[in-house]
Chain A
Amino acid sequence: MLSILIWLPLIGAIFVGFYPNLTAARTAALAIASATLLITLSLFFKFDPTTSGMQMEEYLPWINEIGLSYRLGVDGLSLPLLALNSFLTWIVIYGSKADIQRSRLYYALILVVSSVVAGAFVAQNLLLFILFYELELIPIYLMIAIWGGEKRTYAAMKFLIYTAISGLLILLGFFAITWLSGSSGFDYNINLEAIASIPLPTQVIILTVLLIGFGIKTPLVPLHTWLPDVYVEASPSVAILLGGVLAKLGTYGLVRFCLQLLPDAWSQLSPVLGIIATISVLYGALTAIAQTDIKRMVAYSSIGHMGYVLLACAAGTKLSLIGAVGQMVSHGLILAALFYLVGVIETKVGTRDLNALNGLLNPIRGLPLTSTLLIIGGMASAGIPGLVGFIAEFLVFQGSFTVFPILTLLCIIASGLTAVYFVILLNRTCFGKLDNATAYYPKVTWTEHTPALILVALIFFLGIQPSWLLRWSEPTTNAMVASLMIDAPSNSKIIVLSYPEAKVNQVLLP
């Protein structure tokens, strides 16, 4: 079942890329992506949300000499991310034009990325994860370098080098964990006790190496320097993939391989991580305010939102971890919507400059629906209640407050700053008076609207019905918390409730 998620897009990519005289590359890719999405959705019916362990496991021995095996599995952490991946792939393919230059290569690469990311999310062997993690390198590199903006070659190379280094560090960390825990292979079901018996200072070193590796990918301040260039130079659809899906590889890695494998060291480092997270959040928000390029602004906002995830993980309470999973998904959706809309505006208006954009909400000559959607996206990103961003951020703050009161407060302030820069963005672009002389923008067709409409609908829906987002992860994250030993004053009000829907309601309606 899980293999299909990897192999279907991959075979599809080969088909799209190599089938002779294929004219309808987009249609074929869309069909494959739709099939993948349906299969992913069907996983939710098979998934048992009451247990914390791996489900639907698949195992094939592969290469014993290096401890590599083909072991797949899914749990409450990876399932929402898998769905996010399939969904955003579908959105990206749907939102791309059929006559994009070198269309076959383009769609083939998107499918490869989708397959590889799915593989990384379900891989239950450390080396297998590395394999998928590195595999994504070249397709993304090519996608940035071929279909990017002006400085795309530079950005692509920057991405390549940063990611290659992060892969190197992660590999080193995995080597160290596996070797020191004395297990013969890289399978993920490593004896946790064996890991716990590694001396704590060594564990901390390993964790640091892994943190830097995944931190580059996420990205966290101060490892984020590749992000603005890459996100801005990449075409909107690639930026959606990068920010919506690939950044999740970083946060997923933080939870799966740092928090879960090295809980002791994680508890040890958690105050530091909390501080780094807060710095990321503040930095992201403050730099975003200073931007005049709307795409760059969204890119920086992404740094801040990823910081919330780290804050939640560092706090390591039941609530905050649920919030972290929620934040990963909600950030994926919101960022995708924002990047998509920014892309639409750029193609129609021809600029991303805040000083040039004006009055897009004008119902006749502007882009009314696009700007409306942009406003909703901005609100969601700023954490306005009723939208999915609020749910996730609220859970994160509520969960982390008991552990890091000051840091959480700072983050809440930063989330207020998020509202500031989105107000700036929306105010400049959507409101105001449209220039009569120049502004006759081409109409946005319904096909072009559809991806954003779907995304915004989902943002609304999950904002109103958060349990659909959160119920899958609860047992998994609870099990993670059990292995952590961050001393926090117990918050009885939250912990007593076990069923997620009730809990969320309890939190939301005090």
Chain B
Amino acid sequence: MDFANLNVVLNAGVILPESIIVVSLLIALVADLVSVKTSKWLPAIAISGLLGAVTVLIWQWTNLTEPLAFVESFNGDKLSIIFRATIALSSVLTILISERYFLQSGIAISEYITILLSATLGGMFLAGADDLVMVFVALETLSISSYLLSGYAKRDPRSNEAALKYLLIGASSSAVFLYGMSLLYGLSGGYTNLHAIASRLPLGGLSLIVAMVFVIAGISFKLSAVPFHQWTPDVYEGSPTPVVAFLSIGSKVAGFALAIRFMVTVFPMVYEQWHYVFVVLAIFSMILGNVVAIAQTSMKRMLAYSSIGQAGFVILGMAIGTEAGYASMVFYMLVYLFMNMGAFGCVILFSLKTGTDQISEYSGLYQKDPLLTLCLSVCLLSLGGIPPLAGFFGKIYIFWAGWQAQAYGLVILALAMSVVSIYYYIRVVKMMVVKEPQEMSDSVKNYPINPTWTADGMKPLQVAIVVTLVFTGVAGIASNPIFTLANQSVHDTPFLSASIQNQALKVELLKQLADQEPVSQLPALEPTIQE
């Protein structure tokens, strides 16, 4: 097989974005080895690689004719493109907000960049993985890099502890996921491609349900959906803040991409069941995440719980299962990327100046740093869904999609929980804006001018904060293109639109059946295994 033929079979052009990132990763690695001087260019190299990848993804959006690559184990359809772009962008923003953070804590940034890039790679491959092996390898690339990232501040015992907890829980959850995958491999009679598995799975039966439960457990861990969320607050609190930003966005987006692709492709036979499980996950996540966030005193921990709650809203979009539901999910992820990253950027800036992340220490910040106050307020209010910020439109889209799918109870619950979330976000805003000068906290009283915006590594942070602020503020009002993008990504993705149509047909058929005679149980077949 000559090279040209090989390329036709592999269709390697689909993973061009990832290749660019791999190249930039290697360049960064070598540049770090060459000399100390070049190491300060590492962030720039990484960012240009990531932005290059995003550019290629944008190009692929319209120009990719054959999305399947590597013998159908990687799928570059529009859904994966939009998720991969989101992950890459979250990585760009993470690098921007981390530079000063690591400089100030006296930790070398070079390995951080390479590990972060490999985590990004893992996430991006995960978003398009169409094969069990591919899913597993990509997932582990993401996870192992994340463990390393969360333990990156290795002299900080809290960071160590966070990393250990994350690793142990993460590894066991991926073992569970893997067990589910091995069952799928067996049930399908020896196939690893997701579509091939789906067409060969039995129609029902205990073993299929067991496999489904294991798979969902593994995925929910990545989404930190309740009840698989216990690691989240601890890891978020202990890890370096930029890493938390990446975990709460990049890693989660990858998790959602996996969830959609895996569940929709592999389990159409037990659609009602997995659907039901996701509804429960959404309910638990929304309630627990939002309610427990109220009680938090540490900003990072509050954001951790709020991210659980936010994940609940997104899972809601997925549980709806209509075209609008998936599109609202994509839309929300895009918006969430910017508003959450902005919030983390501001938290980092505050902790760089004062060295604390206690919510009470924010009181009176308005007097000393109006810009930071404005940015953090906008991002938090957007997370809370206050118009006209981006988060409002994201939430409305999810709720309206849910209402159209007649999930009335869920929508009402989600609305109630978004009111709860307004409460705890506004608490921080209140601390910053409302408090009188005499109620100022000690850290704010001694609020240092340093580091100024001109200090080393502060420019990127400023860029990141301004970009996220502008996006959060404007994306809501000018959100038409994003809506179109989200809709197209769902509409033009074959496996999703097929599933949506199938479900619609099924509902129609069931209705007709119900008109004629009582619905008979679908035959539950046990897997037929030959020796």
Closest A residue by C-beta to B479: A63
Q: Residue A62 contacts which of B386, B403, B480 (CB distance < 8 angstroms)?
A: B480
Interface assignment of B434: CB less than 8 Å from any CB of chain A = yes
Q: Residue A135 contacts which of B387, B418, B483 (CB distance < 8 angstroms)?
A: B387
Stretch at the interface among A160-168, A305-313, A386-394: A160-168
Within 8 A of A (CB), among B471-487: 479-480, 483, 487
Complex contacts, B29 vs chain A, CB 8 Å = none
Instruction: Give, as a whole number of angstroms, the nearest-CB distance from B116 to chain A.
Output: 34
Q: Contact check, B397 vs A131: say whether CB atoms are below 8 A apart.
A: no
User: Interface digits, A164-198 against B, CB 8 Å rule (1 contact, 0 not)?
Assistant: 11001001100110010000000000000000000
Within 8 A of B (CB), among A43-81: 62-68
From A64, A135, A171, A175, residue with most partner B Cβ within 10 Å: A175
Interface assignment of B422: CB less than 8 Å from any CB of chain A = yes
Q: Residue A66 contacts which of B397, B411, B418 (CB distance < 8 angstroms)?
A: B397
In the complex, A171→B396 CA distance in Å? 9
Size of B's binding interface in residues, CB under 8 A? 31
Q: Contact check, B388 vs A131: say whether CB atoms are below 8 A apart.
A: yes
Q: Contact check, B403 vs A179: say whether CB atoms are below 8 A apart.
A: yes
Interface assignment of B228: CB less than 8 Å from any CB of chain A = no
In the complex, A168→B403 CA distance in Å? 14
In the complex, A156→B422 CA distance in Å? 13
In the complex, A92→B358 CA distance in Å? 38
Q: Residue A142 contacts which of B327, B433, B480 (CB distance < 8 angstroms)?
A: B433
Interface assignment of A134: CB less than 8 Å from any CB of chain B = yes
Q: Residue A131 contacts which of B387, B423, B487 (CB distance < 8 angstroms)?
A: B387
Closest B residue by C-beta to A134: B387
In the complex, A471→B423 CA distance in Å? 44
Interface assignment of A146: CB less than 8 Å from any CB of chain B = yes
In the complex, A474→B394 CA distance in Å? 40
Q: Contact check, A172 vs B400: say whether CB atoms are below 8 A apart.
A: no
Q: Contact check, B388 vs A145: say whether CB atoms are below 8 A apart.
A: no
Complex contacts, A161 vs chain B, CB 8 Å = 419, 423
Interface assignment of B269: CB less than 8 Å from any CB of chain A = no
Q: Residue B412 contacts which of A65, A131, A172 (CB distance < 8 angstroms)?
A: A172
Complex contacts, B419 vs chain A, CB 8 Å = 161, 164-165, 168
In the complex, A175→B412 CA distance in Å? 11
Complex contacts, A179 vs chain B, CB 8 Å = 403-404
User: Interface digits, A122-140 against B, CB 8 Å rule (1 contact, 0 not)?
Assistant: 0000010011101101100
Closest B residue by C-beta to A144: B434
Interface assignment of A153: CB less than 8 Å from any CB of chain B = yes
Interface assignment of A141: CB less than 8 Å from any CB of chain B = yes
Interface assignment of B93: CB less than 8 Å from any CB of chain A = no
From A68, A138, A176, residue with most partner B Cβ within 10 Å: A138
Q: Residue A141 contacts which of B397, B415, B426, B479 (CB distance < 8 angstroms)?
A: B426
Size of A's binding interface in residues, CB under 8 A? 32
Interface assignment of B223: CB less than 8 Å from any CB of chain A = no
Complex contacts, B418 vs chain A, CB 8 Å = 168
Closest B residue by C-beta to A147: B434
Within 8 A of A (CB), among B422-466: 422-423, 426, 429-430, 433-434
Q: A131-B392, A153-B430 are in contact. Are A160 and B422 (CB under 8 A)?
A: yes
Interface assignment of B216: CB less than 8 Å from any CB of chain A = no
Instruction: Give, as a whole number of angstroms, the nearest-CB distance from A150 to chain B.
Output: 12
Q: Residue B434 contacts which of A127, A142, A164 (CB distance < 8 angstroms)?
A: A142
Q: Residue A65 contacts which of B324, B388, B422 (CB distance < 8 angstroms)?
A: B324
Q: Contact check, B400 vs A168: say whether CB atoms are below 8 A apart.
A: no
Q: A66-B396, A66-B400 are in contact. Are A146 and B387 (CB under 8 A)?
A: no
Complex contacts, A135 vs chain B, CB 8 Å = 386-388
In the complex, A164→B434 CA distance in Å? 19
User: Interface digits, B396-425 against A, CB 8 Å rule (1 contact, 0 not)?
Assistant: 110110011000000110011011001100
Instruction: Give, as a whole number of angstroms, the nearest-CB distance from A358 to chain B.
Output: 33
Interface assignment of B376: CB less than 8 Å from any CB of chain A = no
Instruction: Give, as a whole number of angstroms, the nearest-CB distance from B104 to chain A.
Output: 29
Interface assignment of B393: CB less than 8 Å from any CB of chain A = yes
Q: Residue B430 contacts which of A64, A131, A145 (CB distance < 8 angstroms)?
A: A145
Complex contacts, B403 vs chain A, CB 8 Å = 175-176, 179
Interface assignment of B381: CB less than 8 Å from any CB of chain A = yes
From A138, A164, A179, residue with most partner B Cβ within 10 Å: A164
Q: A65-B487, A67-B400, A146-B434 are in contact. Are A171 and B415 (CB under 8 A)?
A: yes
Q: Contact check, B423 vs A63: say whether CB atoms are below 8 A apart.
A: no
Complex contacts, B327 vs chain A, CB 8 Å = 65
Instruction: Give, as a whole number of angstroms, the nearest-CB distance from A43 to chain B.
Output: 24
Instruction: Give, as a whole number of angstroms, the nearest-CB distance from B441 to chain A.
Output: 16
Closest A residue by C-beta to B324: A65
In the complex, A421→B329 CA distance in Å? 56
Instruction: Give, as a whole number of angstroms, the nearest-CB distance from B234 to chain A.
Output: 30
In the complex, A65→B482 CA distance in Å? 11
Q: Contact check, A168 vs B415: say whether CB atoms are below 8 A apart.
A: yes
In the complex, A130→B327 CA distance in Å? 22
In the complex, A153→B381 CA distance in Å? 18
Instruction: Give, as a whole number of angstroms, the nearest-CB distance from B43 to chain A.
Output: 31
Q: A63-B483, A146-B433 are in contact. Are A168 and B386 (CB under 8 A)?
A: no
Q: A131-B387, A141-B426, A172-B415 are in contact. Are A63 and B399 (CB under 8 A)?
A: no
Q: A65-B324, A160-B426, A172-B412 are in contact. Are A138 and B381 (CB under 8 A)?
A: yes
Q: Contact check, B399 vs A175: say whether CB atoms are below 8 A apart.
A: yes
Instruction: Give, as a whole number of angstroms, the nearest-CB distance from A246 to chain B.
Output: 16
Q: A66-B397, A161-B419, A175-B403 are in contact. Are A134 and B386 (CB under 8 A)?
A: yes
Complex contacts, A67 vs chain B, CB 8 Å = 400
| Given A156-B434, A179-B404; 17 other pairs, CB 8 A cutoff | A63-B480, A63-B483, A65-B324, A65-B397, A66-B400, A127-B396, A130-B387, A131-B392, A132-B387, A135-B386, A137-B386, A138-B381, A145-B434, A160-B422, A171-B415, A172-B412, A176-B403
* Residues of B in contact with A (beta carbons under 8 Å apart): 324, 327, 381, 386-388, 392-393, 396-397, 399-400, 403-404, 411-412, 415-416, 418-419, 422-423, 426, 429-430, 433-434, 479-480, 483, 487
The 5 closest A-B pairs by CB, nearest first: A145-B434, A131-B387, A164-B419, A175-B403, A65-B483
Query: What are 8 pairs between A and B in contact, CB < 8 Å?
Result: A62-B480, A68-B396, A135-B388, A146-B434, A156-B434, A160-B426, A161-B423, A164-B419
